[in-house]
Structure 1
Amino acid sequence: MQKQIGEAVELFEEVMIYGQGKVLKSINTELWKKFSPEQIQMLKLIKKEEKLTSNQLAELQGVHKSAISNRLKKLVEKNVVTMLDSEEDQRTKYIELTEEGEKVIQKSDQLLHDYIEHLFSEHIEEAELAQFIEMFKKIKSILQLGDEDK
């Protein structure tokens, strides 16, 4: 069992680390030349959470606040996010998606969906896909439980 867990961890890490880069390189689109993977991830986090502070965003991405500040500046310049003052605390600014930001996410999601759909339909059998879905549901559930314990 321990050997299998080690192999599973290695495979999971490889897919997480190298898979994203491979997919992004395989889909030749202007969108992913204009926005880095980190910027796309930021936009998706902002959409999911609806509004965030830069501190919250840094924590979610696991990076220092200075990295977020630089990325945010570029996203504001590209008119995909906006900074709004908090009504409760003048020092706090919330990050929200603009309409253009919503379009960028929709386009990115569609490109990714189309690519993964093609990849799966060409290389994975229906039974394997069902196993994949069940396994990732379980992993997602485990990871969410881990987050709630913090």
Structure 2
Amino acid sequence: MNQELRVAAYAVCVRHEQILLARWVARDGTKRWTLPGGGMEHGEDPVETAVREVEEETGYDAEMTVLLGVDSSRRRYPRKLGTYADFQALRIIYEARITGGSLRPETGGSTDLAAWHPLAAVEDLDRAELIDTGLRLWRERPALGRFAVNG
């Protein structure tokens, strides 16, 4: 089984009771809302990753203001020739504020739309679970930046 690790940084941008989200497009064409962010490039600082990804996916300049936490998820999925991958995602989640730019969709990337959504309506969106994790970190601010394994 191949072991794969992806380290990524994301931003929770909330203002006026709305959250900034990007719509992720999966390889099979499925679309889900997610937090703006993405994979770190080799040698890149996580804060720089989050700033870059927010700009790429939404058009906004952003400042990361607080480290909310680190989330880890793991899954197994099929690869070529009947093998499987043991995939782990390590996600660094920041609180951010918009400092400039203007809203626009990403071109030629993994997302196709960016938009502000009322916090009260997030529950009704077709969304990645990362949004729920990010919002829970933003609301609860756990001391260790993570929730108990069964929490």
Same fold (TM > 0.5): no
Give the number of the structure with larger relative contact order, counting CA–CA contacts within 8 Å between residues 6 or more apart. 2
Larger radius of gyration: 1
Greater share of strand residues, 1 or 2? 2
TM range (shorter): under 0.3
Query: TM-score with structure 1 length normalisation?
Result: 0.23
Greater share of helix residues, 1 or 2? 1
